[in-house]
Chains A and B, each alone.
Chain A
Amino acid sequence: MAYTNMTRRAVFQGAAGLATWTALAGLPLATTAARAQSAAPYPILPQGRLIPGAPQDYTAAMLSGGPGKDGIPSIDDPKFWNVEDTNDFLDDGDIVFGLVENGVARAYPQRILVWHEIVNDVVGGVGLAVTYCPLTGTAIAFERGQTEFGVSGRLVNSNLIMFDRDTDTWFPQVLAVGIKGPHIGQALVERPIVWTTWARWKAAFPNTEVLSTETGFFRNYGVDPYGAYNAVSGYYVPQSSTLFPLMNDDDRYPQKTVFVSARTPNASVAFNLDSLREENRLETEVNGEVFTSIYDERLDTGYIFRGKTSASPTINGASAYDVSWSGGEALEPIDAFQAMWFAMTAFYPETKVHG
């Protein structure tokens, strides 16, 4: 049974709405915080997000991955290269996480984020925490307002637990709902980010900026300690095993099989990326609600929309999720991300799966 946080949510909704409006209007969030002291220092999703257990269930399942709080250092003062500055750091097949905000395109190489997991960035005027968990294969961007997020060093279901440096509220990245701290039960606001290759991203966004290795820390950015994506090896091989215990185990697919996944306040869905590549368009239904996923060949990724339509999608390409529909009703996009199979089912055992 899903944990409900309606009472708490109702209390915070007004302040969160004001915070979102203020951020959109380009006004400093500190003003909002001064007006409503109980508001989070970052936008909160008014309708909330599915959380299948109680927050305490997740804190009880947390365990240390080894590093302490901030032992894995987030990048708080990121520096960027132009495409021509990347020299030979990136191969065409290397994984990057790409996003576009207000016309500014940025790529975050997986080989850098594997050592840092969080970049506290401002893109096109929007404060973002670009987060990556290597153990669950998930890259998600969150609006961070004017706070910063750090890496707690704790994991649940092998997934990064981050914390905000203003209120010390803890959020598992995949759940994206507070499980500990003042903003427990509240959901972070996500921004579209895609998992793709360097060749595909720079072809789609030739003016992109690229996170540089000037991170403020020294790491061997040529090496991924878990394995490699280009070509797939080590921990990332679909059939390989997980490193930490899971809250729910589901062996219908190899553990690291990639699914395009999404969760709403009431449901969670996952589409097998391999199937999506073959079919280009997949649909599934959860409790009478239909979800449609379409494949973006340009970036080799998938998007998820709420509803069903006879309309045909066209990938426009000004950003990820820039899709128009013709010949019928347009569909509403929802936050989606790629995840390893075990990660989705460990957090959301009732996930509706399109294999």
Chain B
Amino acid sequence: MADILRRLLTDPASLAFASGIALIYLLVFQFAVADLSIDSTARPISSSGLSNWQDVVFRQRVPFQFEAIAVLQGPYFIWLLSPVNIAIGAVLGLLTGAQIALVGIARKCAVSCGLSPAAGIFAGLPGLLAGSACCAPLLFILLGVQLTASLVTLMGLMIPIAFVLLFGGLVFTLRVAARRCGEAAELLA
């Protein structure tokens, strides 16, 4: 497995691919938790921050989503900057990117390796459904579907669920990729 990890971290193409996926995931995550929004206002670029940011930075709006301590706004966008939310999105994005890049490496070793990049995308999906606004999950506000207590609890767990799925998926993908590439190397030898 160490060999496969080394290939992921040293192959510029795989690394760029994983980083690209991570960045896209982070951006979508920022939209999903309503920290990043776009509109039709051509406002000038400006920023401001809270002087008491230490008191606010770890304050949770909903479980696993944190307060912004600064804002950056410009033409057609407003970005509420929460370092913790950005870190969470980055970790989930990197796990997603690494898993999909590993599938690519495994497929180079053995075309029918039994792995699909879709698994990584689906594992990361719960994190993108976790957005909440005021007193209800965004997804249900948009759908207009009635909520139950268990659904609200489940929605509050979407980020840890995404983390567990992505981490588990990454370990599984790593093991399969290591085995497939190992088998391919033996055949060639």
Question: Could you tell me which A residues sit within 8 Å of B by CB distance?
Answer: 63-68, 71-73, 114-115, 117, 134-135, 153, 155, 160, 216-220, 222-223, 225-226, 234-235, 240-245
**Across the interface, do B152 and A64 meet the contact criterion of CB distance under 8 Å?**
yes
Q: Which residues of B contact A67 (CB under 8 A)?
A: 61-62, 132, 134-135
Sort chain B's interface into a size bin.
35 or more
Query: A236 → chain B, closest Cβ, in Å?
Result: 11
Q: Which residues of A contact B69 (CB under 8 A)?
A: 218
* The one of B39, B68, B136, B144 that contacts A240, using a Cβ cutoff of 8 Å: B144
6 other A-B residue contacts (CB within 8 Å) besides A67-B61, A115-B134, A135-B135: A64-B152, A66-B62, A68-B62, A218-B67, A226-B134, A226-B141
Bound Cα distance from A219 to B34, whole angstroms: 9
Known contacts: A71-B60, A226-B141, A243-B141. The answer to whether A65 contacts B71 by CB under 8 A is: no
Bound Cα distance from A219 to B63, whole angstroms: 17
Bound Cα distance from A223 to B133, whole angstroms: 11
Q: Which residues of A contact B148 (CB under 8 A)?
A: 63, 245
Bound Cα distance from A216 to B136, whole angstroms: 22
**Across the interface, do A241 and B144 meet the contact criterion of CB distance under 8 Å?**
yes
Query: B149 → chain A, closest Cβ, in Å?
Result: 4
In this assembly, does B127 line the interface, its C-beta being within 8 Å of a C-beta of chain A?
no
7 contacts between A and B (CB under 8 A): A63-B149, A67-B134, A68-B62, A72-B61, A72-B135, A134-B134, A225-B134
In this assembly, does B181 line the interface, its C-beta being within 8 Å of a C-beta of chain A?
no
Q: DSSP majority for the B interface?
A: mixed
**Across the interface, do A218 and B80 meet the contact criterion of CB distance under 8 Å?**
yes
Bound Cα distance from A68 to B34, whole angstroms: 18
Over the window 36-79 of chain B, the binary record of Cβ atoms lying under 8 Å from chain A Cβ atoms (1 yes, 0 no) is 01010100000000101000100111110001111100000010
Bound Cα distance from A67 to B34, whole angstroms: 14
Q: Which residues of B contact A242 (CB under 8 A)?
A: 146
Question: Could you tell me which B residues sit within 8 Å of A by CB distance?
Answer: 34, 37, 39, 41, 50, 52, 56, 59-63, 67-71, 78, 80-81, 132-138, 140-141, 144, 146-149, 152-153, 155-156
Q: Which residues of A contact B138 (CB under 8 A)?
A: 225
Bound Cα distance from A160 to B148, whole angstroms: 16
* Tally of contacts, chain A with chain B, CB under 8 A: 96
Q: Which residues of A contact B50 (CB under 8 A)?
A: 216, 218
Q: Which residues of B contact A240 (CB under 8 A)?
A: 144
Q: Which residues of A contact B136 (CB under 8 A)?
A: 65-66, 135, 243-244
**Across the interface, do B61 and A71 meet the contact criterion of CB distance under 8 Å?**
yes
Query: A21 → chain B, closest Cβ, in Å?
Result: 36
Q: Which residues of A contact B135 (CB under 8 A)?
A: 65-67, 72, 117, 134-135, 153, 155, 160
**Across the interface, do B78 and A241 meet the contact criterion of CB distance under 8 Å?**
no
Query: A260 → chain B, closest Cβ, in Å?
Result: 24
**Across the interface, do A225 and B141 meet the contact criterion of CB distance under 8 Å?**
yes
Chain A residue nearest to B144 in the complex (CB): A241
**Across the interface, do B155 and A66 meet the contact criterion of CB distance under 8 Å?**
yes
Query: A219 → chain B, closest Cβ, in Å?
Result: 7
Q: Which residues of B contact A65 (CB under 8 A)?
A: 134-136, 152
